[in-house]
Amino acid sequence: MKKEVVIEVKDARVKEAINSFLESLLEKNLVSALLVPREVPSKDNVVQSLMTNSNGLKEVNVISPVLPVSSARIISEMTRLSSYKNPVGVVLRSCEIRALIELVKLKQASLDNLLIIGVDCLGTYSVSDYQNLCKQGNSPSDELLRKFKEGGEDTKLRKACQVCEYPIPSNADLVIGLIGVDFEKNILLKSGTEKGEKILENFSFLPVRACTQTGPEFNQSKREESVSKYLSKKIEKRDALFSEMKEETSGGWENLLSVFSTCINCHNCMRVCPLCYCRECFFESPTFEFGSEKYLLWAKRKGSIKMPRDTILFHLGRMSHMATSCVGCGLCEQACPSNIPLLKIFKMVSYKVQQIFKYVPGRDLEEPLPLTTFKEDELRSVGEE
């Protein structure tokens, strides 16, 4: 049975309430370490840090609205060769959990002895926008919480976050709930697995069912209603984004080439993507190394050639690899120095592909990857047409 409790928040200090819980996990030896976003000394960014004691936990900010790198990629680096012998807690956003589930299916990560703590995601700013807010003397975390509580929409959030249909963590052992909760007074903490339920047995938090009588008010139906409205807005924006992308590329091949025309072949999008895991990338292999005369030959044949070459081939190749497992985190677009709208393209294509296979990446660890599974009656409509 899943357990739901309430963490009381004093003086609207949400970050401190969450950090107090994380500190208790370490002090009670329920985990041997925590992977958490920790503010850098300048306070204008966060870095993922693996912490083995509570020293420095006051700099931890799991609701900090910035995502420089997906923790799924970091966990893959830490567990791909061997899993942990002792429990390690990892605090993740929904897109990070979903990416991690896909990496486990791809045998690039292990969940053994990991305690996954998911946090309701209210969105993130780009690294540069986050830093600018900090330079202005604002606390991005406090600003985002304030705007969310007032019901306003923050147009500065990354586009990926504005159209994300999965802000509520799934497949987490514990979930820290902020949506539909008066987080200035209390935070929802609920177990999603038996492992998470056993963790909560070590605490004396007030159960949700008792809090309207003896403690801070919590309304489960209000949370469900708030989540539903929140998702409706996200889906509406997602559909508008798809329509926008279709219009931009409706002119045929030439328009698609135009979208990618400013690509400088840096491969930043590949390096930051949590699902790009190949140790040897085809697009960085000797296959794409040519002698000087070859370039002249191509130029003479066509009159001119765009340099660097094969940029469109790189993106289409990567897209075909990523389509079924893309979680729409948008880090590819954030890392692009040429501001190519990669999120719009990848999200639209992956959404269509995932619909064909009736597959949602990160939905279920036991759900097989579409391209590794043969179904005799699959894609009949394609063959019949």
Q: Note whether residue 160 is domain-resident.
A: yes
Asked if residue 211 and residue 178 are part of one domain, the reply reads yes
The pLDDT value recorded for residue 3 is 87
Q: Are 31 and 51 in contact (CB under 8 A)?
A: no
150: confidence class by pLDDT, cuts 50, 70, 90: confident
Asked if residue 156 and residue 273 are part of one domain, the reply reads no
Asked if residue 309 and residue 335 are part of one domain, the reply reads yes
Q: Note whether residue 350 is domain-resident.
A: yes
Asked if residue 184 and residue 58 are part of one domain, the reply reads yes
- Of all residues in the chain, the percent with pLDDT exceeding 90 is 69
DSSP H or E segment with residue 334? helix 331-335
Q: In what order do the strands lie in the sheet with 4-8?
A: 46-51, 33-39, 88-92, 114-119, 174-177, 186-191, 4-8, 206-207
Q: Please say if the pLDDT value at position 302 is more than 70.
A: yes
- 49 by Cβ neighbours in 10 Å (0-12 / 13-18 / 19+) ranks as middle
The pLDDT value recorded for residue 172 is 97
Q: Please say if the pLDDT value at position 206 is more than 80.
A: no
Q: Is the dihedral of CA 332, 336, 342, 346 positive or negative?
A: negative
Q: What is the pLDDT of residues 61-102, one digit of tens each?
A: 999 999 999 999 999 999 999 999 999 999 999 999 999 999
Q: Note whether residue 384 is domain-resident.
A: no
Asked if residue 303 and residue 170 are part of one domain, the reply reads no
Q: Please say if the pLDDT value at position 168 is more than 60.
A: yes
The pLDDT value recorded for residue 174 is 97
127: confidence class by pLDDT, cuts 50, 70, 90: very high
The pLDDT value recorded for residue 381 is 65
Q: Are 116 and 172 in contact (CB under 8 A)?
A: yes
151-171: average pLDDT: 92
Q: Please say if the pLDDT value at position 205 is more than 70.
A: yes
Q: Please say if the pLDDT value at position 215 is more than 70.
A: no
Q: Note whether residue 383 is domain-resident.
A: no
**Which residue, of 182, 210, 234, is where some domain finishes?**
234
- Of 83, 159, 186, 80, the closest CA to residue 329 belongs to 159
Question: What CA–CA distance (Å, rounded) separates 320 from 307?
Answer: 23
Q: What is the pLDDT of residues 254-290, one digit of tens each?
A: 787 888 889 999 999 999 999 998 888 888 888 888 8
The pLDDT value recorded for residue 379 is 66
Residue 331 is part of which domain span? Answer: 249-377
Higher pLDDT, 121 or 285: 121
Asked if residue 213 and residue 76 are part of one domain, the reply reads yes
Question: How far is residue 57 from each of residues 70, 119, 264, measured CA to CA in Å?
Answer: 20, 17, 40
Phi, psi of 230 (to 5 degrees): -60, -45
Asked if residue 361 and residue 221 are part of one domain, the reply reads no
Question: What CA–CA distance (Å, rounded) separates 331 from 158?
Answer: 9
The pLDDT value recorded for residue 50 is 96
The pair of three-digit structure tokens given for residue 260, joined into one six-digit string: 């990618």
Q: Please say if the pLDDT value at position 193 is more than 90.
A: yes
Question: What CA–CA distance (Å, rounded) separates 161 from 125?
Answer: 9
**Which residue, of 199, 234, 269, is where some domain finishes?**
234
Question: What CA–CA distance (Å, rounded) separates 247 from 285?
Answer: 35
Q: Note whether residue 267 is domain-resident.
A: yes
Residue 39 gets the label, from left (phi > 0), alpha (psi -120 to 50) or beta, of beta
Q: How many residues does the chain have?
A: 385
- Of all residues in the chain, the percent with pLDDT exceeding 70 is 95
248: confidence class by pLDDT, cuts 50, 70, 90: confident
The pLDDT value recorded for residue 230 is 93
The pLDDT value recorded for residue 214 is 43
The pLDDT value recorded for residue 39 is 95
Q: Note whether residue 132 is domain-resident.
A: yes
**Which residue, of 234, 266, 296, is where some domain finishes?**
234
Q: Note whether residue 349 is domain-resident.
A: yes
The structural domain count of the chain equals: 2
Asked if residue 215 and residue 152 are part of one domain, the reply reads yes
DSSP string, 59-86: GB-TT-SB-SS-HHHHHHHHHSS---SS
Q: Please say if the pLDDT value at position 294 is more than 60.
A: yes
Asked if residue 309 and residue 170 are part of one domain, the reply reads no
Q: Please say if the pLDDT value at position 213 is more than 50.
A: no
Please provide the average confidence, as pLDDT, over all residues in the chain.
Answer: 90
The pair of three-digit structure tokens given for residue 99, joined into one six-digit string: 């990416």
Asked if residue 204 and residue 348 are part of one domain, the reply reads no
Question: What CA–CA distance (Å, rounded) separates 249 from 241?
Answer: 13
The pLDDT value recorded for residue 216 is 52
Q: Please say if the pLDDT value at position 235 is more than 60.
A: yes
Asked if residue 88 and residue 226 are part of one domain, the reply reads yes
110-129: average pLDDT: 96
Asked if residue 275 and residue 197 are part of one domain, the reply reads no
Whole-structure pTM over 0.95, yes or no? no
- Of 187, 228, 222, 201, the closest CA to residue 2 belongs to 201
The pLDDT value recorded for residue 258 is 85
